[in-house]
Amino acid sequence: MLPVIAVYAAVVLIWSTTPLAIRLSVDSVDFVQGSALRMWISLALCLLLLPLFRLKLSFNKLAMQRYMASALGICFAMLCVYWSAQTLPSGLIAVLWGLTPILVSLQSRCLIAGTRLDGLRLLSMAIAVLGLYVIFAQQIALSPTMAVALAVLLLAVNFHSLSAVLLQKLQLKQQSSEDERMHPLVQTTGGLLVSAPIYAIVWLLMSGPLPEVMSWTSIGAIAYLSIIGSAVGFIGYFYLLTKMSAADASLITLMTPVIALFLGTSIANETLSDRTLMGAGIILFALFIYHLKNIRLVLVRLAQKD
């Protein structure tokens, strides 16, 4: 059990440090360059990993649909996150990114037949909206630029959530057909492959040549995100899904915003106003309510083991 605990802790740490690394990666490059370089390096790594796992890319209709759904999160969501990271503290990015499971539930209710929302999840959504109101009201009063960055970040979370819902919908379709279940590494590689030319087009339209001198902060952060944040984090997360329930793994999204807030203030000297911290606290409480059933399941299993 110790290796599983070690992997779990590693994934929590990787996901907690990702928002700060994204913010540091745009230290000497613009948001398009930082995001594109990360994804192109990640694609190269995934292409190297495929033969090691004896896997091959599939290019049938359903596979291409899955790749395009993945690209919605890999490309459009990430571009919005990187743009927002030029302005927003990493801790705040992590807190709003933690809203992903709540938005996934809401979008699933709209796009996947038979999906229902129970009372606890509806309550968590209402509390999260209150937290967002507190944060937005504060940022609009202090800086309209920050408010715009928050709106773009929320757009990123929606893109990411929609990508997950579409993949879930395609997974249900795949289960009803004769197609084999797609390996997560294949899906990620395919999504990166579809995203790669989109990043190239966006770079040509919105960016320019790389700076003659890139700071070691940007180089280190991009390398960390490409290797640790993408490849290692991805492998670790899907390893956990083979060793524990999805409910246990989902609790990662409850812990990472708290750790990211601490890292942002202690390492990057980021500061948040009292009202922004209050809004973040309300959102974290909403996430706790959302995950309450999963927390109960974990506690019951731990009690049974004792």
Of residues 104 and 76, more confidence is placed in 76
Q: What is the span of the domain harbouring residue 83?
A: 2-305
In this structure, of 32-46, 167-181, 188-202, the range with the lowest mean pLDDT score is: 167-181
Which pLDDT belongs to residue 251? 75
The predicted model gives 288-295 an average pLDDT of 84
How many Å is the maximal CA-CA distance in the chain?
A: 60
284 C-beta neighbours (distance < 10 Å), count: 18
Question: How does pLDDT run across 137-186, given as a tens digit for each residue?
Answer: 877 766 788 889 999 999 999 998 898 888 888 877 766 554 567 777 88
Which pLDDT belongs to residue 244? 67
What ranges in 72-118 are assigned the alpha helix state H? 78-85, 90-97, 100-111
Cα–Cα distance between 299 and 305 in angstroms, integer? Answer: 10
Of residues 226 and 138, more confidence is placed in 226
Which pLDDT belongs to residue 218? 95
Q: Could you write out the DSSP letters of every residue in 196-237?
A: HHHHHHHHHHH--SPPSS--HHHHHHHHHIIIIIIIIHHHHH
Domain count, the chain: 1
Q: What is the pTM of this model?
A: 0.88
Name the pLDDT band for 116 (thresholds 50, 70, 90): confident
Q: Which of 156-160, 186-190, 196-200, 238-242 is predicted most confidently? A: 196-200
**Neighbour-count burial for 202-235, b at 16+ CB within 10 Å, e otherwise:** bbeeebeeeeeeeeeebeebbbbbbebbbbebbb
Helices 2-25 and 216-224 meet at what angle, rounded to 10?
A: 140
Q: Can you read off the two tokens belonging to residue 291?
A: 């995950």
SS3 for 29? Answer: coil
